[in-house]
A and B are shown apart, each in its own frame.
Chain A
Amino acid sequence: MDFAFTEEQELLRDSVQRFVRENYPFDKRNKLAETEAGFSSENWAMFAELGWLALPFSEVDGGLDGTVIDTMIMMEEFGKGLTLEPYFPTVVLGGGAMRRAASPAQREAVLPGVIEGTTHLALAYAEEQGRYNLADVATTARADGDGFVLNGRKSVVLNGTAADWLIVSARTAGKQGDAEGVSLFLIDSSTKGIDRRGYRTQDGGRAAEVTLEDVRVSGDALMGEAGAGLAVLEAVIDEAIVAIAAEAVGAMTALNAATVEYSKTRVQFGTPIGKFQALQHRMVEMFMETEQTKSLLYRAAMSMDSGRPDAARCVSALKVQTGKAGRFVGQQAVQIHGGMGMTYELNVGHYFKRLTMINSLFGNIDYHMRRFAALDGTTEAA
Chain B
Amino acid sequence: MDMEFSAEQQNFRDSVRDFFENTYPSDIRDKVRRGVSLSKDDMVRSQKALASRGWAAPNWPVEYGGTGWSPTEKYIFENEMARADVPPVVPFGMSMVAPIIYSFGSKEQKERYLPDILNSNVWWCQGFSEPGAGSDLASLRTKAVRDGDSYIVNGTKTWTTLGQYAEWIFCLVRTDPTVKPQEGISFLLIDMKTKGITVSPIQTIDGGFEVNEVNFDDVRVPVENLVGEEGKGWTYAKKLLTHERTGIAGVARSKHQIGKLKKIASSIPNGGGATMMEDDDFRRRLSEVEIELMALEFTDLRALAAVQTGGAPGPESSILKIKGTEIQQAITELFVEASGYYALPYTPERFDDGSNVEPVGPDFAAFAAPRYFNVRKTSIYGGSNEIQKNIIAKAVLGL
Show the binding face of A for B, using Cβ within 8 Å: 1-5, 69, 260, 263-264, 274-275, 277, 280-281, 283-285, 287-288, 291-293, 295-296, 298-299, 301-303, 305-306, 308, 314, 317, 320-321, 369, 372-373, 376, 379, 381-382
The segment from B139-147, B298-306, B331-339 that touches chain A is B298-306
CB pair A260–B288 under 8 Å, yes or no, is no
If the complex has contacts A306-B4, A373-B283, A381-B83, are A281 and B393 also in contact, measured as CB distance less than 8 A? yes
CB pair A283–B399 under 8 Å, yes or no, is yes
Closest 7 CB pairs of A and B: A295-B298, A280-B393, A3-B305, A292-B295, A302-B3, A295-B299, A284-B389
CB pair A292–B292 under 8 Å, yes or no, is yes
CB pair A284–B298 under 8 Å, yes or no, is no
CB pair A295–B296 under 8 Å, yes or no, is yes
Which residues of the partner chain A approach B71 to less than 8 Å between Cβ atoms? 1
B32 within 8 Å of A by Cβ?
Answer: no
New A-B pairs, 7, CB < 8 Å, besides A295-B296, A320-B287, A381-B255: A1-B71, A260-B398, A291-B299, A292-B319, A292-B323, A372-B290, A382-B297
CB pair A287–B83 under 8 Å, yes or no, is no
If the complex has contacts A4-B305, A369-B288, are A296 and B393 also in contact, measured as CB distance less than 8 A? no
CB pair A284–B291 under 8 Å, yes or no, is no
- Chain B 258-302, CB within 8 Å of chain A: the 1/0 string? 000010000000000000000000011011101110111111011
CB pair A283–B397 under 8 Å, yes or no, is yes
Cα(A317)–Cα(B396), bound, Å = 26
Cα(A20)–Cα(B219), bound, Å = 66
Show the binding face of B for A, using Cβ within 8 Å: 1-5, 9, 71-72, 75, 79, 83, 255, 262, 283-284, 286-288, 290-292, 294-299, 301-302, 305, 309, 316, 319, 322-323, 386, 389-390, 392-393, 396-399
CB pair A296–B1 under 8 Å, yes or no, is no
Cα(A156)–Cα(B259), bound, Å = 40
If the complex has contacts A288-B323, A306-B2, are A280 and B295 also in contact, measured as CB distance less than 8 A? no
Which residues of the partner chain A approach B9 to less than 8 Å between Cβ atoms? 1
Q: What number of A-B contacts does a CB cutoff of 8 Å give? A: 123
Cα(A179)–Cα(B243), bound, Å = 52
Which residues of the partner chain A approach B296 to less than 8 Å between Cβ atoms? 292, 295
Cα(A292)–Cα(B302), bound, Å = 11
CB distance from B11 to the nearest CB of A (A): 15
CB pair A287–B396 under 8 Å, yes or no, is yes
Closest to A69 in B: B1
Interface hub of B288, B305, B393 (most chain A Cβ within 10 A): B393
Contact of B287 among A285, A305, A308, A372 (CB under 8 A): A372
Interface hub of B283, B295, B319 (most chain A Cβ within 10 A): B295
Which residues of the partner chain A approach B3 to less than 8 Å between Cβ atoms? 1, 299, 302-303, 306, 308, 382
Cα(A298)–Cα(B83), bound, Å = 24
